[in-house]
Amino acid sequence: MTAMTTGHTSRADANRRRILDVALAELLRDPDASMDQIARAAGVVRRTVYGHFPSREALIATLVDDAVAAVEAVHTAARDGVADPAEAVARSVLAVWDIADRYRLLTALAQRTVTMQGIRERLAPLRRDAVAHLQQGLDDGVFASPLPAEALAYVQEQTIFALMEAVNDGLLPTEEAGRSAAVTVLTSAGVPATRAAALVRELIA
Protein backbone atom coordinates (compact mmCIF):
# COMPACT_ATOMS: atom_id res chain seq x y z
CA MET A 1 0.00 0.00 0.00
CA THR A 2 1.47 3.37 -1.04
CA ALA A 3 1.87 6.33 1.31
CA MET A 4 -0.79 8.20 -0.69
CA THR A 5 -3.26 5.33 -0.30
CA THR A 6 -2.47 5.03 3.39
CA GLY A 7 -3.02 8.74 3.87
CA HIS A 8 -6.36 8.60 2.04
CA THR A 9 -7.47 5.63 4.16
CA SER A 10 -6.48 7.44 7.36
CA ARG A 11 -8.44 10.53 6.36
CA ALA A 12 -11.45 8.40 5.44
CA ASP A 13 -11.29 6.59 8.79
CA ALA A 14 -10.97 9.92 10.63
CA ASN A 15 -13.96 11.30 8.72
CA ARG A 16 -16.01 8.21 9.51
CA ARG A 17 -15.13 8.42 13.22
CA ARG A 18 -15.98 12.12 13.32
CA ILE A 19 -19.33 11.51 11.61
CA LEU A 20 -20.16 8.79 14.16
CA ASP A 21 -19.19 10.96 17.13
CA VAL A 22 -21.18 13.93 15.83
CA ALA A 23 -24.12 11.72 14.86
CA LEU A 24 -24.32 10.31 18.38
CA ALA A 25 -24.32 13.80 19.90
CA GLU A 26 -26.89 15.08 17.41
CA LEU A 27 -29.22 12.09 17.79
CA LEU A 28 -29.08 12.29 21.58
CA ARG A 29 -29.94 15.98 21.30
CA ASP A 30 -32.59 15.46 18.63
CA PRO A 31 -33.73 11.86 18.00
CA ASP A 32 -35.23 12.97 14.68
CA ALA A 33 -32.00 14.53 13.40
CA SER A 34 -31.68 13.99 9.65
CA MET A 35 -28.61 13.00 7.67
CA ASP A 36 -28.47 16.62 6.45
CA GLN A 37 -28.32 17.89 10.04
CA ILE A 38 -25.63 15.38 10.94
CA ALA A 39 -23.59 16.33 7.87
CA ARG A 40 -23.79 20.05 8.71
CA ALA A 41 -22.84 19.42 12.33
CA ALA A 42 -19.87 17.30 11.20
CA GLY A 43 -18.76 19.96 8.73
CA VAL A 44 -19.07 17.73 5.68
CA VAL A 45 -21.39 17.51 2.72
CA ARG A 46 -24.26 15.04 2.78
CA ARG A 47 -22.60 12.95 0.08
CA THR A 48 -19.69 12.28 2.45
CA VAL A 49 -22.02 10.94 5.14
CA TYR A 50 -23.79 8.71 2.62
CA GLY A 51 -20.42 7.56 1.35
CA HIS A 52 -19.80 5.96 4.73
CA PHE A 53 -23.38 5.06 5.65
CA PRO A 54 -25.90 4.27 2.91
CA SER A 55 -28.88 5.19 5.11
CA ARG A 56 -29.83 6.73 8.44
CA GLU A 57 -30.72 3.23 9.63
CA ALA A 58 -27.22 1.99 8.75
CA LEU A 59 -25.69 4.89 10.67
CA ILE A 60 -27.77 4.14 13.77
CA ALA A 61 -26.97 0.42 13.49
CA THR A 62 -23.26 1.27 13.48
CA LEU A 63 -23.70 3.44 16.57
CA VAL A 64 -25.46 0.53 18.28
CA ASP A 65 -22.57 -1.77 17.32
CA ASP A 66 -20.12 0.72 18.83
CA ALA A 67 -22.19 0.87 22.01
CA VAL A 68 -22.27 -2.92 22.29
CA ALA A 69 -18.48 -3.10 21.79
CA ALA A 70 -17.96 -0.53 24.55
CA VAL A 71 -20.30 -2.40 26.88
CA GLU A 72 -18.54 -5.72 26.18
CA ALA A 73 -15.13 -4.17 26.94
CA VAL A 74 -16.11 -2.77 30.34
CA HIS A 75 -18.12 -5.90 31.20
CA THR A 76 -15.05 -8.08 30.63
CA ALA A 77 -12.70 -5.74 32.48
CA ALA A 78 -15.02 -5.42 35.49
CA ARG A 79 -15.26 -9.21 35.99
CA ASP A 80 -11.60 -9.96 35.34
CA GLY A 81 -10.04 -11.73 38.31
CA VAL A 82 -13.17 -11.53 40.51
CA ALA A 83 -13.88 -14.94 42.02
CA ASP A 84 -17.15 -14.21 43.83
CA PRO A 85 -20.02 -14.47 41.30
CA ALA A 86 -22.16 -11.90 43.14
CA GLU A 87 -19.35 -9.37 43.22
CA ALA A 88 -18.56 -10.08 39.57
CA VAL A 89 -22.18 -9.42 38.58
CA ALA A 90 -22.36 -6.25 40.67
CA ARG A 91 -19.09 -4.89 39.30
CA SER A 92 -20.21 -5.68 35.77
CA VAL A 93 -23.60 -3.96 36.10
CA LEU A 94 -22.06 -0.85 37.67
CA ALA A 95 -19.41 -0.62 34.96
CA VAL A 96 -21.85 -1.36 32.15
CA TRP A 97 -24.31 1.19 33.45
CA ASP A 98 -21.68 3.95 33.26
CA ILE A 99 -21.39 3.20 29.55
CA ALA A 100 -25.05 2.38 28.96
CA ASP A 101 -26.19 5.63 30.54
CA ARG A 102 -24.48 7.51 27.71
CA TYR A 103 -26.27 5.37 25.17
CA ARG A 104 -29.66 4.88 26.84
CA LEU A 105 -31.40 7.46 24.63
CA LEU A 106 -29.74 5.85 21.63
CA THR A 107 -31.23 2.50 22.67
CA ALA A 108 -34.71 3.99 22.65
CA LEU A 109 -34.01 5.54 19.25
CA ALA A 110 -32.49 2.33 17.89
CA GLN A 111 -35.67 0.43 18.64
CA ARG A 112 -37.29 2.43 15.84
CA THR A 113 -34.73 1.33 13.25
CA VAL A 114 -32.89 -1.68 14.68
CA THR A 115 -35.30 -4.29 16.00
CA MET A 116 -34.96 -5.48 19.58
CA GLN A 117 -34.14 -8.86 18.08
CA GLY A 118 -31.22 -7.23 16.28
CA ILE A 119 -30.04 -5.61 19.51
CA ARG A 120 -30.31 -8.94 21.35
CA GLU A 121 -28.28 -10.65 18.62
CA ARG A 122 -25.54 -8.05 19.04
CA LEU A 123 -25.48 -8.77 22.77
CA ALA A 124 -25.14 -12.56 22.33
CA PRO A 125 -21.42 -12.76 23.31
CA LEU A 126 -22.11 -10.70 26.43
CA ARG A 127 -25.06 -12.92 27.30
CA ARG A 128 -22.99 -16.10 26.93
CA ASP A 129 -20.48 -14.75 29.44
CA ALA A 130 -23.29 -13.76 31.81
CA VAL A 131 -24.76 -17.26 31.58
CA ALA A 132 -21.41 -18.80 32.57
CA HIS A 133 -21.13 -16.56 35.64
CA LEU A 134 -24.75 -17.15 36.61
CA GLN A 135 -24.31 -20.91 36.29
CA GLN A 136 -21.23 -20.75 38.50
CA GLY A 137 -23.19 -18.78 41.09
CA LEU A 138 -26.10 -21.21 40.96
CA ASP A 139 -23.74 -24.19 41.31
CA ASP A 140 -21.95 -22.55 44.26
CA GLY A 141 -25.19 -21.61 46.01
CA VAL A 142 -24.42 -17.89 45.76
CA PHE A 143 -27.47 -17.44 43.52
CA ALA A 144 -30.86 -19.10 43.85
CA SER A 145 -33.46 -19.03 41.11
CA PRO A 146 -36.20 -21.26 39.73
CA LEU A 147 -34.89 -20.25 36.31
CA PRO A 148 -32.00 -21.90 34.48
CA ALA A 149 -28.98 -19.67 33.91
CA GLU A 150 -29.89 -19.01 30.27
CA ALA A 151 -33.36 -17.72 31.15
CA LEU A 152 -32.06 -15.76 34.12
CA ALA A 153 -29.54 -13.99 31.89
CA TYR A 154 -32.37 -13.03 29.54
CA VAL A 155 -34.43 -11.66 32.44
CA GLN A 156 -31.51 -9.60 33.72
CA GLU A 157 -30.79 -8.23 30.25
CA GLN A 158 -34.39 -7.10 29.89
CA THR A 159 -34.26 -5.60 33.38
CA ILE A 160 -31.38 -3.37 32.31
CA PHE A 161 -33.31 -2.23 29.23
CA ALA A 162 -36.40 -1.57 31.36
CA LEU A 163 -34.40 0.53 33.83
CA MET A 164 -32.91 2.53 30.95
CA GLU A 165 -36.45 3.26 29.79
CA ALA A 166 -37.43 4.20 33.36
CA VAL A 167 -34.63 6.77 33.42
CA ASN A 168 -35.63 8.06 29.96
CA ASP A 169 -39.22 8.47 31.18
CA GLY A 170 -38.17 10.30 34.34
CA LEU A 171 -39.26 7.50 36.67
CA LEU A 172 -35.78 6.83 38.06
CA PRO A 173 -33.18 9.53 38.85
CA THR A 174 -30.01 9.16 36.78
CA GLU A 175 -27.77 9.40 39.85
CA GLU A 176 -29.51 6.41 41.46
CA ALA A 177 -29.86 4.28 38.35
CA GLY A 178 -26.53 2.43 38.40
CA ARG A 179 -26.87 1.41 42.04
CA SER A 180 -30.51 0.45 41.56
CA ALA A 181 -29.66 -1.62 38.47
CA ALA A 182 -26.92 -3.56 40.27
CA VAL A 183 -29.10 -4.29 43.31
CA THR A 184 -32.06 -5.28 41.12
CA VAL A 185 -29.97 -7.67 39.03
CA LEU A 186 -28.48 -9.30 42.13
CA THR A 187 -31.87 -9.74 43.81
CA SER A 188 -33.28 -11.24 40.61
CA ALA A 189 -30.61 -13.93 41.01
CA GLY A 190 -31.79 -14.67 44.54
CA VAL A 191 -29.23 -12.62 46.47
CA PRO A 192 -30.96 -11.27 49.61
CA ALA A 193 -31.81 -7.58 49.22
CA THR A 194 -29.80 -6.50 52.27
CA ARG A 195 -26.73 -8.41 51.05
CA ALA A 196 -27.12 -7.03 47.53
CA ALA A 197 -27.50 -3.44 48.74
CA ALA A 198 -24.52 -3.75 51.10
CA LEU A 199 -22.30 -5.23 48.38
CA VAL A 200 -23.19 -2.49 45.89
CA ARG A 201 -22.63 0.24 48.51
CA GLU A 202 -19.22 -1.24 49.26
CA LEU A 203 -18.23 -1.33 45.59
CA ILE A 204 -19.41 2.22 44.96
CA ALA A 205 -17.55 3.45 48.04
CA distances from 133 to 24, 27, 88, 120, 200 (A): 32, 35, 8, 19, 18
pLDDT per residue as tens digits for the range 5-55: 555 567 778 888 899 999 988 988 888 889 999 999 999 899 999 999 999
Question: Which region among 105-109, 163-167, 177-181 has the lowest average model confidence (pLDDT)?
Answer: 105-109
Q: What is the DSSP letter of 189?
A: T
Query: What are the tens digits of pLDDT across the range 138-155?
Result: 999 999 999 999 999 999
CA atoms within 13 A on the CB side of 24: 16
DSSP annotation of 142: S
Q: Of 54, 60, 51, 58, which Cα lies nearest the Cα of 31? A: 60
